[in-house]
Structure 1
Amino acid sequence: MTAGLWIVPEDAKGKYRPAHPEARLLIKPVAVKSVLTKSKIEGIDYTVNPYYGCQHGCRYCYSAWMTGKRFPGLSWGEYVFPKVNAPQVIARELDRVNLGLVEIGSSTDPYQPVESTFRLTRRCLEVLVRRRDFAVSVLTKSPLVLRDIDLLKAGDVEVGFSISGLGGPILRALEPRAPSPHLRLKALRKLVREGVRTFAFV
């Protein structure tokens, strides 16, 4: 595989661990024709995923199978394809659909580390919040979501954190490059204090 960036995951104490060969990441920006997808998830009308792939590389993620068919030969967690025109595309698509609840992050983590550079989730969120007629549910494992508190408080937005356990070697094996549960819970508490609606996906 073509080597890209090196990802340096956080440990349970919030410090960085050394990079290792399995942490290679291929980043390839792509343009897409559609971003807003009709959802098959009960209670969710549409989904938005600003990225193909996910740096966290969680072993249990169903998206590994879904995107694996699209990108054969690439291992889950080793590639991210940012949909660089996603904000412009979703702005057009919202004009053609009925009102409803939009989930950001059904098959990727919208706040994985590359979001700090590409800012696609923030820009999509800006479009949705400006519209004010769509409710938004964000699902993440990352405290990077705190960067966008201004938008989360400005619209009809809720934020959920996926939490599979509280730590230990088994969880680290299952979620090799995801932020630690400690950091997720800390971010969750911060959002609650800021008045943002939250939930935990356990």
Structure 2
Amino acid sequence: MECIARKSLLYKTKVEYGDWTINHIVGCKHGCRFPCYAMMMARKFGWIKDYEDWRKPKLVKNALDLLEKEIPKYKNQIDFVHLCFMTDPFMYDAEKDRIIPDIKDLTLKIIERLNRDGIRVTILTKGIYPDDLLNTQRFSKNNEYGITLVSLNNNFKEQYEPYSSSYETRVESLKKLAKAGLKTWVSIEPYPTPELDPDAAQIEKILEKIHFAKKIIFGKLNYNKLVNYCGRNSHNWKNSQEFYEAIARKVIDFCNTNNIQYHIKAGTPLSNEDHRNIFK
């Protein structure tokens, strides 16, 4: 796998529910088309040329060396570190039906190194969690493992998440961690409208699939970005405000009934500032 070097790794994120973060990979083989904010930023800053270049991930070869220098410097400022906002830490290779080994190995070493200094880690993937994480002698029980799940419709997946792991496999890998007593969460965003996914009104099906998770984050799709990305004609679905309010209400009611913590992202109907520090 191609590698690059960086001058720094740890940084404070501006994402509303984040704290500190690391992006130890440039690019993502999943090739999501929501659009992918990370890919657009990578193109803007000249890190990649185009979509195909984005789908050829590059490892930050000096990531562990940077961590050794930066952990002592920032440790007292860090509540937790998130992997990742600009890539996927357990990236799936659809052609070989597996987690990409080099990425998995580096991610596990990073989590282990942060945990060794008492720094907990939150993780989010559209890939598959490896069984290595079940080893609580190596990895902290305080880590929180999440998946992104915005649909169960395979036609939608084929169009918008073409190379990520299957929905079922993704859920099962998270459930295995939950059954082992580890902390799990789910990001249901960017959530599509029925214009993009005919099953979107039935979010109950997704919620029932992930009933074991301890936390849920929900957020709407930004249609303006979708228009700019793929040249769609409409800037919004005709009933988007009402739709997202109704769906957010279903998420809130489900979480309250099942004793699940939740956060409705800013800009989405029923968002609440009091819940933004969901990982604090």
**Smaller-chain TM-score bracket:** 0.7 to 0.9
Matched residue count: 175
Offset from partner CA, 1:120-153 (integer Å, 9 cap, x none): 1111111111011x22100111214433332585
The secondary structure found in structure 1 opposite 2:82 is strand
Offset from partner CA, 1:82-124 (integer Å, 9 cap, x none): 0011122122111111131110111101011474124211111
TM-score, normalising length: structure 2: 0.58
- Residue 132 (structure 2) aligned to one of 147, 150, 154: 147
- Residue 51 (structure 1) aligned to one of 3, 25, 47: 25
Instruction: List structure 1 runs of 4+ shifted beyond 6 angstroms.
Output: none
Partner Cα distance (2:109, 2:30) in 1: 21
Judge conservation of contact 1:84–1:120 (CA < 8 Å) in 2. no
Whichever residue aligns with residue 180 of structure 1, its letter is S
After superposition, residues 31-42 of structure 1 pair within 5 angstroms as 31-42=5-16
Q: Name the CA shift for 1:195/1:153 in 2 (closer, same or farther; >3 Å).
A: farther
Which residue pairs with 1:122 in the alignment?
Answer: 108
Instruction: Report percent identity of matched pairs.
Output: 27
In the TM superposition, what is the alpha-carbon distance from 1:198 to its structure 2 partner? Answer: 0.3
TM-score, normalising length: structure 1: 0.79
Judge conservation of contact 2:38–2:87 (CA < 8 Å) in 1. yes
Which residue pairs with 1:75 in the alignment?
Answer: 51
Gaps of 5+ in 2: 93-98, 189-280
Alignment pair present for 1:89 and 2:66: yes
Structure number with the bigger relative contact order (C-alpha 8 A, sep ≥ 6) is: 1
Cα-Cα RMSD? 1.9
Partner Cα distance (2:70, 2:141) in 1: 19
Gaps of 5+ in 1: 1-26
Alignment pair present for 1:100 and 2:59: no
Whichever residue aligns with residue 81 of structure 2, its letter is V
Larger Cα-atom Rg: 2
Partner Cα distance (1:54, 1:125) in 2: 19
Judge conservation of contact 2:91–2:128 (CA < 8 Å) in 1. no
